[in-house]
């Protein structure tokens, strides 16, 4: 379930705030979000908008496209002033994500699949969590299972050892008409 994870790339030199004041651009670690995609024109605008609408001041957004032929490039071109994208053959979503992460400059790195979306405030919440829990290296979000029409069909809870390893519960990951989406960050 490390989909849509946010992780710290290097130890941050930013000190944790002593109160819950809003993060300002002056103290905000740069965050990079990578979206791998291939022929995802149907879902990609929602994913892009969910990143661009975040209330966090320092986001670098990178989309790595595997050479789509379904209108994805037209969508990416419309957003070219607000994100960076590369299109060309890759070896699947893991390879595309890796390519994007290698290009990223952020202290906080994340990825969001093209058929997923962040809830408002997800990136800010993740960065605040990292700042107040400096020993944490990886956090990931709970979310909602949504169908192809965008209707919520269930909750995808974060797993812990107490809840069991999600890899041992494949029925929670697969099912007809399921796609993950609307991920938020745990705190």
pLDDT digits (tens, 9 = 90+) for 107-133: 999 999 999 999 899 999 999 999 998
Q: Which CATH superfamily is domain 29-181 in?
A: Spore Coat Polysaccharide Biosynthesis Protein SpsA; Chain A (3.90.550.10)
| Region 81-88 average pLDDT | 97
Where are the strands (E) in the chain, listed by range?
Answer: 6-8, 31-37, 59-65, 84-87, 108-111, 138-139, 143-146, 152-156, 179-181
Beta bridge partners of 61: 33
Name the least confident of 78-82, 168-172, 175-179. 175-179
Domains in the chain: boundaries:
29-181
How does DSSP classify residue 26? T
pTM listed for this prediction: 0.72
* Lowest mean pLDDT segment, chosen from 9-13, 66-70, 161-165: 9-13
Q: What is the pLDDT of residues 5-41, one digit of tens each?
A: 444 333 322 223 333 344 555 578 999 999 999 999 9
The share of the chain scoring above pLDDT 90, in percent, equals 53
Q: Is residue 70 helix, strand or coil?
A: coil
């Amino acid at each position: 379930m490390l989909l849509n994870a946010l992780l710290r790339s290097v130890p941050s030199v930013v000190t944790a705030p002593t109160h819950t004041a809003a993060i300002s651009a002056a103290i905000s670690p740069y965050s990079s979000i990578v979206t791998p995609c291939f022929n995802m024109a149907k879902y990609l605008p929602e994913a892009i908008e969910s990143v661009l609408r975040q209330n966090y001041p320092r986001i670098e957004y990178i989309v790595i496209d595997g050479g789509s032929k379904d209108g994805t490039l037209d969508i990416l071109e419309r957003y070219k002033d607000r994100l960076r994208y590369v299109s060309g053959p890759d070896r699947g979503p893991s390879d595309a994500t890796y390519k994007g992460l290698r290009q990223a400059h952020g202290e906080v790195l994340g990825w969001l699949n093209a058929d997923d979306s962040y809830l408002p405030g997800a990136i800010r919440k993740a960065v605040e969590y990292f700042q107040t829990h400096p020993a944490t290296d990886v956090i990931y979000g709970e979310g909602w299972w949504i169908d192809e029409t965008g209707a919520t069909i269930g909750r995808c809870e974060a797993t812990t050892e107490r809840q069991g390893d999600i890899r041992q519960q494949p029925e929670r990951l697969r099912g007809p008409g399921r796609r993950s989406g609307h991920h938020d960050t745990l705190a």
